[in-house]
Structure 1
Amino acid sequence: GIICASDPLALGAIRAARRRGLAVPGQVSVVGFDDSAFMNCVEPPLTTVRQPIEAMGRAAVDLLCAQIQGGEVPPGELLFEPELVVRGSTAQAPRD
């Protein structure tokens, strides 16, 4: 399988695999990142990792507003859980 840093890179990986005669997902699975628009409209539909963009943006705005108002801004990092969106570019691994 191939895991790519972005959905466009994943589409390129699918194209490269096909040029080499490999079936996606039959012989190789491909996963992208970001759940870009129209990834469910490509062939095969791309399995991808979706980030919680709205929650991330909301948290950033909340922290910025608190800082502007002189409030306490907690140190450290915020963690957000991504979601795996399984579509047609991946298959289960063959069993021995």
Structure 2
Amino acid sequence: MVEGAPDGRRIPEEVSIVGFDDLPVARWTHPSLTTVRQPLFDMAAMVATTLLRIIDGEHVESLRLELATRLVARGSTAPPA
């Protein structure tokens, strides 16, 4: 359980904290952790598709792909004071 920041500040009253990947434990902390959720299934599908194209000898224009993320607001963030 998260009671406060390592330096003793109160979350979210004095400092907001945001995590990444939206792991299940983010919901179980106190306060629950605001996090950025990535589309893991879509990421894996794009990697598999690209890899299969490369294996088949197809030319792949770009190996960089951008997929949308989503902010999941929970109890570890507050509006600016």
For this structure pair, what is the TM-score category when the shorter chain's length is used for normalisation? 0.7 to 0.9
5+ residue gaps in structure 1? 1-10
Alpha-carbon offset, residue 75 of structure 1:
2.4
Task: Give TM-score scaled by structure 2 length.
Answer: 0.84
Residue deviations 1:8-66 (CA, integer Å, cap 9, x gap): xxx6xx4414xx2x221111111111111221111000001111111111000000111
In structure 2, the partner of 1:63 is 50
Runs of 4+, deviation exceeding 3 Å: none
Task: Give TM-score scaled by structure 1 length.
Answer: 0.72
Q: Give the 3-state SS of the residue equivalent to 2:28 in structure 1.
A: coil
In structure 2, the partner of 1:40 is 27
Letter in 1 for 2:70: E
In structure 1, the partner of 2:6 is 16
Aligned length: 79
Question: Relative contact order (C-alpha < 8 Å, sep 6+): which is higher?
Answer: 2
**More helix, by proportion:** 1
Quote the RMSD (CA, aligned, Å): 1.6
> Identical aligned pairs, as a percentage?
37
Summarize the alignment of residues 26-37 of structure 1 with structure 2, pairs less than 5 Å apart: 26-37=13-24
5+ residue gaps in structure 2? none
